[in-house]
């Protein structure tokens, strides 16, 4: 089946620094990718929709200047957490719709810890 | 707008006994419904999906779910629980009619399997 990878799998950074997370579709192209955030013992919440060749669409309450999304190619989307703070510590997961569009394929997630 | 309600945050069963994880949905259009499983420190795995074909959907690892439009439910069942089934389960909805392919996740149900 389709595979989505994320890098890094985990990252620890100091408060105030920026962190970039990559999401790649390994064996298929994705004009759209989705970024979710999952806090401990909570569900996944959609942050934004990444669109190849155009601006990302952010969900209400998500700061676009803080969470920069770039869909550089048909197989790569990046999420940059700028000026990270401890409250940004979370599990970030990306997904991409498969060929049939009904099924989403999820990356393994990136665990971010901001000290 | 679409939403998903998972009625139990935690379910505990004994190994070999049936599993029932309850899910109700709300959707403005014809929904696609999914169940995903998340094992600790692992990515999301699709268990099964309903996309307007047969209302009884069979998935992997012996799981199945029945779409009941009159009850707006999509409960997940398994005849006999196995220790390896212990995980977090998410009921997910996608509104096909809106053209929006992002998923809305339920709050999750943690399944515990006792030996």
The answer, yes or no, to whether the previous bond of B96 is cis (omega within 30 of 0) is: no
Q: What is the pLDDT of residue B2?
A: 81
Residues of chain A in Cβ contact (below 8 Å) with chain B: 32, 34, 36, 42-46, 49, 93, 95, 97, 101-104, 106-109
| Closest CA relative to residue A108, chosen from A92, A86, A96, A85 | A92
| pLDDT one-digit tens code per residue, B42-91 | 778 899 999 877 889 999 999 999 999 999 999 999 999 999 999 999 99
CA distance B39 to B89: 9
- The answer to whether B32 contacts A45, with C-beta atoms less than 8 Å apart, is no
| Closest CA relative to residue B5, chosen from B28, B19, B22 | B22
In this complex, the residue of B42, B51, B90 whose CB is nearest that of residue A102 is: B51
- The answer to whether B108 contacts A95, with C-beta atoms less than 8 Å apart, is no
**How, if at all, do strands A19-25 and B23-26 pair?**
unpaired
Q: What is the pLDDT of residue A82?
A: 96
Q: What is the pLDDT of residue A43?
A: 87
Q: What is the pLDDT of residue A74?
A: 92
Mention every residue, 6+ apart, whose C-beta is less than 8 A from residue B100. Answer: B94
pLDDT band (50, 70, 90) for residue B98: low
- Contact map slice: B 32-51 vs A, CB within 8 A: 32, 34, 36, 42-44, 46, 49, 51
Cα nearest neighbour of A58 on chain B? B102
In this complex, the residue of A43, A46, A101 whose CB is nearest that of residue B90 is: A43
| pLDDT one-digit tens code per residue, A87-114 | 999 999 999 987 765 678 899 999 999 9
Query: Does B13 score more than 90 pLDDT?
Result: yes
Give B46 to chain A, closest Cα distance, Å: 8
In this complex, the residue of A32, A36, A103 whose CB is nearest that of residue B49 is: A103
Backbone angles phi, psi at B39, to 5 degrees: -85, 155
CA distance A20 to B88: 27
CA distance B51 to B5: 19
Q: What is the pLDDT of residue B100?
A: 59
Query: Does A78 score more than 60 pLDDT?
Result: yes
- Contact map slice: B 4-33 vs A, CB within 8 A: 32
Dihedral sign for Cα atoms in the order A86, A9, B21, B114: negative
Tokens found for residue B39? 């094992």
Cα separation values, A49 from B55, B67, B103, Å = 30, 28, 11
Q: What is the mean pLDDT of residues A22-33?
A: 92
CA distance B52 to A41: 31
Q: How many CA atoms lie within 13 A of A111 on its CB side?
A: 6
């Amino acid at each position: 089946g389709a595979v989505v990878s994320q890098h890094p799998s985990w990252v620890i950074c100091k408060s105030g620094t920026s962190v970039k997370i990559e999401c790649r579709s390994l064996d298929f192209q994705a004009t759209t990718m989705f970024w979710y955030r999952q806090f401990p013992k909570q569900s996944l919440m959609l942050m934004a929709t990444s669109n190849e060749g155009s601006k990302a669409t952010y969900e209400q309450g998500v700061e676009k200047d803080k969470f920069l999304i770039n869909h550089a190619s048909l197989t790569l989307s990046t999420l940059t957490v700028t000026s990270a703070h401890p409250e940004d510590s979370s599990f970030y997961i990306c997904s991409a719709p498969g060929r049939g569009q009904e099924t989403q394929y999820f990356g393994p997630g990136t665990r971010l810890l901001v000290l | 707008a679409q939403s998903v309600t998972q009625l139990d945050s935690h379910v505990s069963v004994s190994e070999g006994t049936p599993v029932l994880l309850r899910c109700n949905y709300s959707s403005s259009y014809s929904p696609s419904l999914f169940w995903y499983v998340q094992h600790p420190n692992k990515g999301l795995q699709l268990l099964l999906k309903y996309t307007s074909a047969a209302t009884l959907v069979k998935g992997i690892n012996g799981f199945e779910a029945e779409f009941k439009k009159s009850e707006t439910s999509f409960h997940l069942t398994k005849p006999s629980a196995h220790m390896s089934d212990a995980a977090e389960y998410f009921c997910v909805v996608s509104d096909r009619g809106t053209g929006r392919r992002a998923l809305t996740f339920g709050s999750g149900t943690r399944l515990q399997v006792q030996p």
